[in-house]
Amino acid sequence: MNSEAASAIKFDYARIGGVKLHYAAAGSGEKLVILLHGFPEFWYSWRHQITALSDEFTVIAPDMRGFHLSDKPRTVADYEIDNLVDDVVGLIHHFGRENAAVIGHDWGASVAWALASKYPEKLWKLGALQVPPIPVWKKNQSIRQFFASWYMFFFQIPFLPEFLFKLNDYAMLTNALQNSTAQPGVFTREDLREYKKAWSEPFALTAMLNYYRANILKRFFSKGSEPKKIEVPTLFIYGERDSAVLPQTVENVGEYIEAEFREVRIPESGHWVQQEAKDAVSKILREFLID
């Protein structure tokens, strides 16, 4: 990201209930757009889209609770999906809006889907990257996806993942980023330095892992009631060379949307789609949000 683009991004904090959230912001448009990152990232994963969309919208990319400079509550239960959803609702109100377009990647997508299901009136549009709604994932679950998701179960182990993450200057995490892109060189040395700073924050590694510890077994393996369909105009973007969320797992997302629905597949991208295909994703988001 060039220095001019970086200078357009401002930073501040919002007090949401008992949690203080750090966020990046750009633009002053009437409509609010909130960009939610995933694991093991922070607001920085959206750096390209923040500036690309800021001429039309007020764009906010928070560090979700537990990440980077946001507060890091100490118990696993603090990271249950309903608490993450309430954080986003609080952000909408913090900026004096009744609703927002919420776009999420990875865990951010899971939070966005849950928000749309629980509080559809808080959204004027919904976007999700790479991760489908939980009912779609569960319906499409396969042996291949089960083994591709091995890390979700490894992360349930106390202490060990944190210990391994720290070894050799966060080599496990940096390798996970660098070696899972469709093309080499997506994450530069500068990018990785920024990530390492975020991972080095006190309690950050445990807080990040608590997303998995609080939600995976409960949400993926419980039967529950018949899922409510999404009633918000929705965009789903999927980089087809994702080795963590397999193509079969995101089939038929539109069956769970009872509103305008668009799906865009990007063949040349892997999991980190808003960075691997930054210009394409920015263009797709702009068209969806302006239309």
Q: How far apart are CA 43 and CA 246, in angstroms?
A: 25
Q: Which residues, other chains included, contact 240 with Cβ-Cβ below 8 Å and sequence gap of 6+?
A: 247, 265, 266, 267, 269
Structural domain containing residue 97 = 3-290
pTM of the model: 0.96
198-248 per-position pLDDT tens digit: 999 999 999 999 999 999 998 776 666 667 899 999 999 999 999 999 999
pLDDT at 2 over 70: no
11-38 per-position pLDDT tens digit: 999 999 999 999 999 999 999 999 999 9
Instruction: Specify the CATH number for the domain of residue 182.
Output: 3.40.50.1820
234-283 per-position pLDDT tens digit: 999 999 999 999 999 999 999 999 999 999 999 999 999 999 999 999 99
pLDDT of residue 189: 97
Q: How far apart are CA 180 and CA 92, in angstroms?
A: 33
pLDDT at 176 over 50: yes
pLDDT of residue 225: 64
Say which DSSP state 228 is in. Answer: P
pLDDT of residue 3: 47
Residues assigned a catalytic role? 106, 212, 271
33-80 per-position pLDDT tens digit: 999 999 999 999 999 999 999 999 999 999 999 999 999 999 999 999
Q: How far apart are CA 180 and CA 188, in angstroms?
A: 14
pLDDT of residue 291: 86
Domains: count for the chain: 1
